[in-house]
Amino acid sequence: MNQFEITSTGLLSRPMLAVMSAQFFSAFGDNALLFATLALIKQQQYPEWSQPVLQMLFVAAYIVLAPFVGQFADNFAKGRVMMVANTFKLAGALLVCFGFNPFVGYCLVGIGAAAYSPAKYGILGELTQGGQLVKANGLIEASTIAAILTGSVAGGVLADWHLITALAVCALTYGVAVVANLFIPRLAPARRDSSWHPARMVGHFSKACGQLWHDGYTRFSLIGTSLFWGAGVTLRFLLVLWVPVALGINDNATPTTLNAMVAVGIVFGAAAAARLVTLETVRRCMPAGILMGVVVVALCLQHHLLPSYLLLALIGILGGFFIVPLNALLQQRGKESVGAGNAIAVQNFGENIAMLLMLGLYSLVVRLDVPAVIIGVGFGVLFASAIGLLWLTTRNGKTVR
């Protein structure tokens, strides 16, 4: 199958459907495993502040491997890279399932996820043509969000019912993702001339970071997506802490269903972005980011379940509209400069540093016994302020030139 045959079949070609299927099952496993493992460490009576540490180990794998995974994605067929990455996730899930230290198992899943992401996004530019890239990102985000929706709910509900069954379902899902990867065509690697010496790879990655950071458009995208994902992962853990305090509900299922409402909203926000925003009008997404922070504040100040569902769905809609154009912008500009795989690896590096910092701060304030409502309000205000500052610098021409 050559490149023309792939791109000419459009957004719903067999290769794209294979990528979307693999992404769905892989992301389903990630989200179900997170909430099942949180239930496990809760059952094993780990302290509350250790919950974000679980995610911090996952994130640390992205940061440590960032200099290597982009080159790995660009120097091999990306579909096979995705398969290897999902195999690592499967191994990590099996470790947790069979009673090994949950922090070690989840860290192994993080290693797989770090290798998976550059290939997942980088392959979109190989399967679609330029005008379809935003729409392809919308489809992959829709697949991801559907997985977050179903995976989060399944993880919480199954953990309430039978914890080992929940963990086994996660492992099985990763196995299905590995099989789905076999149906992605073996495309030619984007690059073959890279050195595999670790020091040179780190130097090459540093050069890619500098090149993308000095481009105003990619710098704008890197800052925006890093703030978004740092805030998104923190919100997940905030809900786990906030639900018992504000809503008086102590099960595992309610925080997961509330998180799922964010996923539902992102599907609609991503669809709206694909229809209303192009690479030339990408700054239209910025007000949505500011409003996300405002709605988080509103969420944390109320105490009823139904408004919580509605407000979290709204956060998702705003988030989908905000993140999809920024991802497409980075992929397009990165493909033209350092390669799509390297661009996504740099993006992951920035996003996961933001996640690590935000989760570390969140863990600290929880350990200091700051009330959940105050944490949530402060979190929303800080996020809205950060996006507002980024938008102002963009409007003044300091970020995007």
pLDDT band of residue 173 (cuts 50, 70, 90) is very high
Q: How far is it, in rounded angstroms, from Cα 256 to Cα 267?
A: 17
pLDDT of residue 189: 59
* pLDDT tops 70 at residue 11: no
Measured from the Cβ of residue 168, the count of other Cβ atoms closer than 10 Å reads 17
More confident residue, 91 or 339: 91
Q: How far is it, in rounded angstroms, from Cα 49 to Cα 52?
A: 7
Q: How far is it, in rounded angstroms, from Cα 349 to Cα 344?
A: 8
Structure-token pair, residue 175: 């196995």
- The winner for highest mean pLDDT among 122-126, 296-300, 330-334 is 296-300
What's the number of CA atoms in the CB half-sphere (13 Å) around residue 66? 23
The structure's pTM equals 0.70
User: Which amino acid, residue 327?
Assistant: N
- Burial profile 243-269: b = 16 or more Cβ within 10 angstroms, e = fewer: beebbeeeebbbbbbbbbbbbbbbbbb
In the numeric block, the tokens 């890093």 are attached to 226
* pLDDT tops 60 at residue 276: yes
What's the number of CA atoms in the CB half-sphere (13 Å) around residue 168? 5
Cα-Cα-Cα-Cα torsion 394, 330, 54, 364, nearest 10 degrees, comes to -10
* pLDDT tops 70 at residue 33: yes
Average pLDDT on 235-255 reads 83
Total number of residues shown for the chain? 401
User: Which amino acid, residue 171?
Assistant: A
Average pLDDT on 325-349 reads 73
Average pLDDT on 200-214 reads 79
Structure-token pair, residue 70: 């982009």
pLDDT band of residue 267 (cuts 50, 70, 90) is confident
Structure-token pair, residue 1: 């199958």
pLDDT band of residue 131 (cuts 50, 70, 90) is low
User: Which amino acid, residue 147?
Assistant: A
pLDDT of residue 43: 82
pLDDT of residue 130: 57
Average pLDDT on 284-312 reads 88
**Helix (H), strand (E) counts: the chain:** 15, 0
CATH fold label, 9-184+197-395: Growth Hormone; Chain: A; (1.20.1250)
pLDDT of residue 174: 92
Local structure of residue 369 (DSSP, 8 states):
T
Which of 284, 335, 312, 348 is CA-nearest to residue 117?
348
Which are the contacts of 367, defined by CB distance < 8 A and separation ≥ 6?
49
Task: Give first-to-last CA distance, the chain, whole Å.
Answer: 39
Average pLDDT on 367-386 reads 88
Contact 380, 290 (CB under 8 A): no
* pLDDT tops 80 at residue 2: no
CA 182 to chain centre: 23
Helix (H, G, I), strand (E, B) or coil at 13: coil
Structure-token pair, residue 10: 């459009």
Which are the contacts of 309, defined by CB distance < 8 A and separation ≥ 6?
257, 258, 261
Q: How far is it, in rounded angstroms, from Cα 38 to Cα 293?
A: 26
Exposed (0-12), middle (13-18) or buried (19+): which is 278, by Cβ within 10 Å? middle
Q: How far is it, in rounded angstroms, from Cα 359 to Cα 378?
A: 14
Q: How far is it, in rounded angstroms, from Cα 171 to Cα 162?
A: 15
Q: How far is it, in rounded angstroms, from Cα 131 to Cα 134?
A: 7
Contact 266, 316 (CB under 8 A): yes
CA distances (Å), 234 to each of 109, 374, 391, in order?
A: 19, 14, 22
CA distances (Å), 311 to each of 41, 151, 162, 234, in order?
A: 29, 21, 30, 17
Contact 309, 249 (CB under 8 A): no
Average pLDDT on 21-36 reads 88
Helix (H, G, I), strand (E, B) or coil at 123: coil
The mean pLDDT value of the chain amounts to: 80
Percentage of residues in the chain having pLDDT higher than 70: 85
More confident residue, 194 or 244: 244
Q: How far is it, in rounded angstroms, from Cα 64 to Cα 113?
A: 12
* Domain-wise residue ranges, the chain: 9-184+197-395
